[in-house]
């Protein structure tokens, strides 16, 4: 979503993005003229008149589970976004019985929060795992 | 005389020139305060509807139409920017 019109989105997809992604962008490219949606989400820069790089993970109940906002010159990590979505999906599927510690990726060790884990995380999780 | 604009990552924009009248400045500041973020993790994502483009067609998207699915909502400064 940006402040550009849907017509400009079409031109960008036709003339540039379709040269990077076969068949063009598959998902909706939304138009937010005047930044009205961006204001509500806290990503509209009034002075520049544009939206900053905001990214929101919204779950199937419409709840915001996470967000990240960057200034324009720095791009995002798609891999990190996907990792977070996978983690939120995993936690949701476990109905809150499991949690993903720092550095978690699919297939790696999770934690089961409860009285037995208090003061014992050091036995289950090593600092190195944050950097794996 | 028009001067050349250096292309950067932020989209160049214009605006009124000169000192704004004092009461206008106050209005703008009030507006800015009201527009602060209402987003909090664990809380409902504000619903919206927006026109858009997808795969050759023009569409209208409502966030609440995606209930039951995971949604990634991404904002960016502008089409044809560099990052």
Q: pLDDT digits over B10-67, tens only?
A: 666 677 777 766 665 566 565 555 555 579 999 999 999 999 999 999 999 999 999 9
Q: Do A46 and B32 touch (CB under 8 A)?
A: yes
Q: pLDDT digits over A48-94, tens only?
A: 999 999 999 999 999 999 999 999 999 999 999 999 999 999 999 99
Is the separation of the CB atoms in B47 and A49 below 8 Å? no
Which of A43-47, B2-6, B25-29 is the least confident region? Answer: B25-29
Distance from B23 to chain A by nearest Cα, in Å?
A: 18
Kind and range of the H or E run holding A124: helix A121-124
Calpha distance A46→A7 (Å, rounded): 23
Q: Do A62 and B32 touch (CB under 8 A)?
A: no
């Amino acid at each position: 979503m940006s402040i550009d019109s849907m017509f400009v989105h079409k031109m960008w997809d036709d003339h540039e993005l379709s040269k990077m992604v076969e068949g063009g962008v598959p998902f909706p490219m939304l138009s937010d003229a005047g930044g009205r949606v961006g204001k509500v989400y806290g990503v509209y820069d009034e002075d520049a008149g544009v939206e900053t790089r905001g990214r929101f993970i919204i779950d199937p109940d419409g709840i915001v589970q996470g967000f990240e906002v960057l200034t324009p010159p720095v791009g995002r990590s798609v891999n990190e976004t996907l990792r977070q979505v996978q983690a939120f999906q995993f936690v949701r599927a476990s109905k809150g019985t499991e949690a993903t510690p720092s550095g978690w990726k699919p297939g790696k060790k999770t934690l089961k929060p409860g009285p037995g884990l208090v003061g014992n995380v050091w036995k289950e999780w090593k600092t190195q795992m944050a950097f794996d | 005389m028009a001067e050349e604009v250096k292309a950067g990552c932020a989209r160049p924009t214009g605006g009124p020139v000169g000192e704004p009248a004092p009461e206008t400045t106050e209005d703008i500041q009030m507006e800015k305060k009201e527009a602060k973020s209402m987003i909090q993790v664990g809380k409902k994502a504000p619903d919206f509807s927006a026109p858009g483009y997808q795969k050759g067609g023009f569409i209208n998207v409502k966030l609440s139409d995606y209930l039951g699915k995971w949604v990634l909502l991404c904002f960016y400064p502008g089409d044809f920017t560099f990052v």
